[in-house]
Amino acid sequence: MTNPATTDLVDHGSLSQFDMIIDVRSPDEFAEDHVPGALNLPVLDNEERAVVGAMYVQQSRFLARRVGAALVARNVARHLETTLADKPANFKPLIYCWRGGHRSNSMATILAQIGWRTIVLQGGYKTYRRAVQKQLYEDELGYRLILLDGGTGCGKTAILNRVADFGVQIIDLEALALHRGSLFGALSGLSQPSQKWFESNLLATMSKLDPDRPVLVEAESSRIGRRTLPPAFWQAMGRAPRIELRAPLDVRASYLLGSYPEIVADRSLLEAALSRLEVYPGRKRLESWRLMADAGEFLELVREVVERHYDPSYARSSRNDKRATLGAVTLHSLDDLSQVAAANEIAALIAQPLSRA
């Protein structure tokens, strides 16, 4: 008889040795957070898990286990006949559930009997989550960050991703948080990930980078929408030198208007964005902005919001910022060619020894 082995190693190198990482928890559990790259093959779906759990509490442990075993057997059989049907004899999966208990062992035992080299994650998802928390909440980050800073509308996110084309390591925090930041950040129509899933994706992104080379990230506040940067990352950002992007106000306003067509298309989304401004602009000014929207003067509206709300805030924070500055890059346009040229300049600044900052 072949029994599944166990492991408690959840680092990127250890996880990458498996042909498949199988999360057997319910879809709701999986949706909140999971090991990046894992496939959800639940042995109990959301409703089945609730029914068996209620049975365990309200009736008897024996009845719950008997009913649960029948459901698990049916679900595992379905996975074997579908998702796992084409796996070869040397297939090596890692299986986990919430605590590495009944659900993962039920599926792992069947897979091991087939002859597959089946491994169970000891402690289950909780082992993985403890490792994430340790690295992002307790340990030093272990990466040298450089911040890409600049006023609202400088094209920081677009240019950040262009810098990657010049061989610079980057982390796009807004992409991980599914939030575009600042003025109209939540207008994408996408729900932000859970805090745990945001952290899982952040750690997975970091694991693919070389810690001996600098990493460029956009200068953000500690919160991106409703997601919070974990302490180790935020502390590393607090020590990081900056590269500043600069562009004229009119250029930035035009860029924002082109980047956020929702400003024009949906008045309710515009109202929601204005209501989220960190400092209330005052009744008269807010009414003036609404009149601009009524008249279709969206470029002037965006220009005023940036000039009167975001630029003063950025100027104050810049005056108080004690972090070193590696240099500034000025753009007179934010078209594609200008962005590529700026990205090239930024890559050159990053290539300089940090001691020159």
**Catalytic residue ranges:** 97
Q: Return the residue matching tokens 């500055």.
A: 325
Residue 191's identity, in one-letter code, is: S
Residue 96 β-bridge partners: 23
C-beta neighbour count of 184 within 10 angstroms: 21
Phi then psi for residue 147, to 5 deg, are: -95, 135
- The residues, any chain, with a CB within 8 Å of residue 167's CB and separated by 6 or more, are 347
Give, in order, the Cα–Cα distances in Å from 94 to each of 38, 65, 116, 213, 355. Answer: 9, 24, 11, 31, 45
Give, in order, the Cα–Cα distances in Å from 278 to each of 253, 282, 310, 313, 327. Answer: 19, 12, 10, 10, 29
Residue 299 gets which letter from DSSP? H
